[in-house]
Structure 1
Amino acid sequence: MAVGRRSFLRGVLFSFLYISLAASSLPAHSQSQCSSAHPPVIFNFGDSNSDTGALVAGLGFPIDLPNGRSFFHASAGRLSDGRLVLDFLCQSINTSFLTPYLDSLSGSTFTNGANFAVVGSSTLPKFVPFSLHIQVMQFLHFRARSLQLGKPITQQGFHDALYMIDIGQNDIADSFAKNMSFTQVAERIPTVLAQIEDGVKSLYDGGGRKFWIHNTGPVGCLPQKLSMVKDKDLDPIGCISSYNRAALLFNEGLRRSCEKMRSQLRDSTIVYVDIYSIKYDLIANATKYGKFLERHELRFASPLMACCGFGGPPYNYDIRVPCGQPASEVCGVGSRSVSWDGIHYTEAANEFVASKVLSTAYSVPRLRFNFFCRS
């Protein structure tokens, strides 16, 4: 455990280093646009943080209003009131939102890529849909058929594409949900990281060279966890310490994995993005970012309370009455919430996170997102 504690402390120091950079100015989207160049083809792998409709298309699971109300004004298959971080990143380089690979009725030709992320996905167990391993196998099938049919993407297109990965939150959350101790969760993390490394290497072997990898956010700050966990060990801002320590331990390991893969995978570009620090800083200093939201005529407040849920303060979350159910209540449009449904973020919070990501202050190496535009 001594090694684990040292790794954890290094992770904490690493996170605080990035939090200190949070005061950097928010970049205009135009700074990241693919000017005369072409947007990259993008393939995304992950969980509900970046699922743009696979749960609905693949499993028929209904995601109804008020989900999607803020931007799409209709259900858009996303567990949010509007756009996700992935959507904002796509918009920043003038490319269309990614269509779920499982959506056969979208009419998409997948010329700008595809989204393999599915709500609830994790890395373990690796052969259970829709784990990262399954998502990568789906991609390899998509690649093989594309090359066989001569469309929609060429071999050079797969080589030049950007491969994005945002997964790991459910591995941590589900482990605690199974009553594992912090020690048991920590011991499981290397296996989770190994699956992510295997996924990247499979994509690399398939021709991919450009990777954009998000670490996981502060799981212990989710209203769902705060409402359900008894005997909570809360930190100074009211989040569950053990959950966040596990997330930091995972993130430090992921950072090291990215560092290792850069040296192993020749000619690769692997960007590690510290989502944890952005989200934790937003929650800890929610009122500080009112200026960011002035143009939206709203300010962040009550960051540990769900906008759409049931039960009222302090968390407004009840597992028996999830967002969208008849008895659930939802805050007004233009709300002050960070959390949408107790697990996922509001569009306003996602826009804030995306803006910080685009600043490059949280990326290693510090590459602008439009670095991946095609010439």
Structure 2
Amino acid sequence: MGCGGAFSHLILTAIAIAIAIPLAACDTPPVVFVFGDSNSDTGGLASGLGFIINLPNGRTFFRRSTGRLSDGRLVIDLLCQSLNASLLVPYLDALSGTSFTNGANFAVVGSSTLPKYVPFSLNIQLMQFRRFKARSLELVTAGARNFISDEGFRNALYLIDIGQNDLADSFAKNLSYAQVIKKIPSFITEIENAVKNLHNEGARKFWVHNTGPLGCLPKILALAQKKDLDSLGCLSSYNSAARLFNEALLHLSQKLRSELKDSTLVYVDIYGIKHDLITNAAKYGFSNPLMVCCGFGGPPYNFDVRVTCGQPGYQVCDEGARYVSWDGIHHTEAANTWIASKILSMAYSTPRTPFDFFRH
């Protein structure tokens, strides 16, 4: 498998250094459950709906399409690798041949918190988790080996990364900025319900990502009618909405920490990480932070909704090219690797907590 050359090696070294406690000190094998959208989907859309995701998706690391919307690994893949753990398999992957001993990925492309009962909303992902847990414990009780035990579920990390689509879909429906902002509390309530429901299921260790700078995504920039651009060339109103969502999510995290005193909940400022990457792209070795690697149409965004990545007529940058955006919404493996290293540094975490805290 190719890993993206010398730069990737340097970043992976940084990831290794960023882990505060050596792996040898870990007491339990890592079990991770992920709830979210395309930023964390490791093949759920492909296995759940049969949706075809073509090459060049997956070209960099896997050398084939795995259902991930990137040229290679996602942030969740890199976080799992930092634990020396195997990559998470989508819950819906019928032919994976796994018994999910290291956890499961419930994240699916396009997922949002609302509406509540539309596949694969956060609420549906929670229902799937409850079914998964009940069935796993049934099998363990019946004497089956290689399934997650009750203790495994209790000690697992529960990662939630959702909200981007709630905001994007609201803007896409031509709601005004004020109308979008008014909807934020209902999105936050769904995340609160998810954490509390997981807590009722015995979860005690939570890792919550906020949402990135929506107004800097090339697809959003290319399609937006109103171009209220800031000094970076990003849409001010979209980024403002994302920041307000994140403020509400931070407030929720503080509230949940005081209510669920037997739990640890880490809030990670993904917005701050991604905004820094776009602002200082050249400094970090990236070019064209608002332009798509795999798309069509050329500058300024190289995004055309009629010719998206992997569809007939697409054009793709060279494998060694240092792009931030892969397809207009999702990041390249190079960007994901940089983002993962920042997450692992703890500099963007509240409270400052190593990613592998749940293993001790």
- The answer to whether residue 35 in structure 2 is matched with residue 45 in structure 1 is yes
2:96 to 106, 114, 117: 106
2:120 to 130, 141, 145: 130
Partner of 2:24: 35
Asked if the contact 2:23/2:83 (under 8 Å) is kept, the reply is yes
Partner of 1:285: 280
Q: CA deviation at 1:149?
A: 1.4
Partner of 1:195: 190
The list of structure 1 runs, each at least 4 consecutive aligned residues, that deviate by more than 6 angstroms after superposition, is: none
Aligned residues: 340
1:367 to 341, 344, 353: 353
Q: In structure 1, the residue corresponding to 2:206 is in which secondary structure?
A: strand
Q: CA deviation at 1:181?
A: 0.6
1:200-224 deviation per Cα after TM superposition (whole angstroms, max 9, x unaligned): 0000000000000000000100000
- How far apart in 2 are the matches of 1:276 and 1:266? 27
Asked if the contact 2:53/2:65 (under 8 Å) is kept, the reply is yes
Q: CA deviation at 1:39?
A: 3.5
Q: In structure 2, the residue corresponding to 1:184 is in which secondary structure?
A: helix
Q: CA deviation at 1:230?
A: 1.7
Asked if the contact 1:30/1:92 (under 8 Å) is kept, the reply is no
Q: CA deviation at 1:40?
A: 1.9
Q: CA deviation at 1:34?
A: 2.4
Partner of 2:324: 338
User: How do 1:196-275 and structure 2 match up within 5 A?
Assistant: 196-275=191-270
Asked if the contact 1:27/1:358 (under 8 Å) is kept, the reply is no
What TM-score do you get using the length of structure 2 for normalisation? 0.93
Asked if the contact 2:58/2:71 (under 8 Å) is kept, the reply is yes
- The answer to whether residue 312 in structure 2 is matched with residue 322 in structure 1 is no
Q: CA RMSD in A?
A: 1.1
Q: Which runs of 5+ in 1 are unaligned?
A: 1-25, 291-299
What TM-score do you get using the length of structure 1 for normalisation? 0.89
Q: CA deviation at 1:316?
A: 0.3
- The answer to whether residue 72 in structure 2 is matched with residue 82 in structure 1 is yes
- How far apart in 1 are the matches of 2:76 and 2:309? 22
Q: In structure 2, the residue corresponding to 1:94 is in which secondary structure?
A: coil
Q: In structure 1, the residue corresponding to 2:282 is in which secondary structure?
A: helix
- How far apart in 1 are the matches of 2:24 and 2:246? 33
Partner of 1:19: none
2:83 to 65, 86, 93: 93
- How far apart in 2 are the matches of 1:106 and 1:283? 36
Q: CA deviation at 1:265?
A: 1.1
- How far apart in 2 are the matches of 1:106 and 1:241? 42
Tell me the percent identity: 64
Asked if the contact 1:39/1:94 (under 8 Å) is kept, the reply is no
- How far apart in 1 are the matches of 2:328 and 2:29? 34
Q: In structure 1, the residue corresponding to 2:318 is in which secondary structure?
A: coil
1:225-273 deviation per Cα after TM superposition (whole angstroms, max 9, x unaligned): 1101122100100000000000000000000000000111131000000
- How far apart in 2 are the matches of 1:230 and 1:369? 40
Asked if the contact 2:211/2:242 (under 8 Å) is kept, the reply is yes
Partner of 1:348: 334
- Match of 1:131, as an amino acid? S
Q: CA deviation at 1:29?
A: 1.2
1:301 to 270, 273, 287: 287
Q: CA deviation at 1:331?
A: 0.4
Q: CA deviation at 1:35?
A: 1.9
Q: CA deviation at 1:64?
A: 1.3
1:158-184 deviation per Cα after TM superposition (whole angstroms, max 9, x unaligned): 111100000000000000000011100
Asked if the contact 1:39/1:93 (under 8 Å) is kept, the reply is no
1:39-73 deviation per Cα after TM superposition (whole angstroms, max 9, x unaligned): 42100000000000001101000111100001001
- How far apart in 1 are the matches of 2:29 and 2:268? 20
- How far apart in 2 are the matches of 1:36 and 1:363? 22
- How far apart in 1 are the matches of 2:15 and 2:243? 30
- Match of 1:338, as an amino acid? V
Asked if the contact 2:292/2:303 (under 8 Å) is kept, the reply is yes
- How far apart in 2 are the matches of 1:28 and 1:121? 28
Partner of 2:10: none
- How far apart in 1 are the matches of 2:53 and 2:24? 35
1:305-343 deviation per Cα after TM superposition (whole angstroms, max 9, x unaligned): 000001000000000111001201000111121000001
Q: In structure 1, the residue corresponding to 2:153 is in which secondary structure?
A: helix
Q: In structure 2, the residue corresponding to 1:289 is in which secondary structure?
A: coil
